Amino acid sequence: MSEAGRVLPLEGVHNFRDYGGYPCAGGRLKTGLLFRSAQHHGATEGDLARIAGVGLASVIDLRGGRERDKAPCRRPEGFAAQIFFVDEDTTGIAPHMQAARDAARAAPSADQARAAMTRGYAGMAYRPHLMPMLRRYFAVLAEVPGPSLIHCMAGKDRTGLAVALFHAAMGVHRDDIMADYLMTNSAGHAEERIAAGAAHVRASYGGAIDDAAVRVLMMVEPAYLDAAFAAIDERSGSVDAYLREELGVTDAVRQSLAARQIG
């Protein structure tokens, strides 16, 4: 499945794409069921019509309460999907915004911004208010029939980690896991997403962050996801152990996931 075939072309919602279709342990993930994106606060009427055409049955919103209050998602008229979220702040603030805040104190270089992002990823899988939503994500995919969407603010960090963990649980090859993760850098209107993110970062933390550092904050790099997986291996012993012991992805849940998500 090509990148163009995965991406739903939208104007005000970034990085809306299908993350199914990859070969996995039991065959191949289905297409048309597994979607990911950034938040939908800026959705146009045309976007809403296209999203309605997907026929979503469930939405897993990884944003915390303050993020949702600040940027409520627009939904199509008659939208009937179940929406799952927690009121607590799942990361305090979005990981790229936290990295921007931490880096802004030193008017960072791109390398300093990259180091801040990597540190953030190293702890992300164990954030106490994000973990319940990761558990809920796997439960929804195992139990709720129909197309699902997972999103956060920018659709690249919390969402990227969640999708990577799902792919790992289903036995998707690590190269495909990384390729899907990195597709954020090119999917849809990537430059518009970076520009919008830059404006948001600077409005929140001042103009001292230069263009190169902002690009680092608004894109993804292999080292970020590698840092998350390395931290999981160190703390839990393996990704499989983390999925089982921390997120409740038991053999029975895997069987349910396979029954619903593998073609």
Residues 160-185 have pLDDT tens digits of: 999 999 999 999 999 999 999 999 99
Nearest residue to 10 via CA among 199, 192, 147, 220: 192
Nearest residue to 39 via CA among 96, 113, 114: 96
pLDDT at 193 over 80: no
Query: What local confidence, expressed as pLDDT, does residue 97 receive?
Result: 53
pLDDT at 104 over 80: no
Q: Cα angle vertex 174, ends 237, 97, to 5°?
A: 80
| Chain centre to alpha carbon of residue 255 | 23
| pLDDT confidence bin for 244, thresholds 50/70/90 | very high
Residues 46-72: pLDDT tens digits?
A: 999 999 999 999 999 999 998 999 999
Residues 117-141: pLDDT tens digits?
A: 999 999 999 999 899 999 999 999 9
Least confident of 11-15, 92-96, 240-244: 92-96
Least confident of 75-89, 96-110, 231-245: 96-110
How far apart CA 193 and CA 188 sit, in angstroms, is 9
Query: What local confidence, expressed as pLDDT, does residue 90 receive?
Result: 62
- DSSP-derived pairing of the beta strands 27-28 and 23-24: antiparallel
Spatial CB neighbours of 58, under 8 Å, sequence gap ≥ 6 = 81, 82, 83, 84, 140, 144, 146, 147, 148, 149
Query: What local confidence, expressed as pLDDT, does residue 59 receive?
Result: 98
The arithmetic mean of pLDDT across residues 231-246, rounded, is: 98
Query: What local confidence, expressed as pLDDT, does residue 205 receive?
Result: 59
How far apart CA 260 and CA 10 sit, in angstroms, is 27
Average pLDDT of the chain to the nearest whole number: 90
Nearest residue to 20 via CA among 125, 166, 156, 142: 166
Query: What local confidence, expressed as pLDDT, does residue 119 receive?
Result: 94
Does the pTM of the predicted model rise above 0.85?
yes
The letter for the amino acid at 236 is S
Best-predicted range by mean pLDDT (8-12, 96-100, 188-192, 214-218): 8-12
Exposure string of 179-216, with b = 16+ CB inside 10 Å and e = fewer, is: ebbbbbbebbbbeebbebbbebbeeebeeebeeebbbb
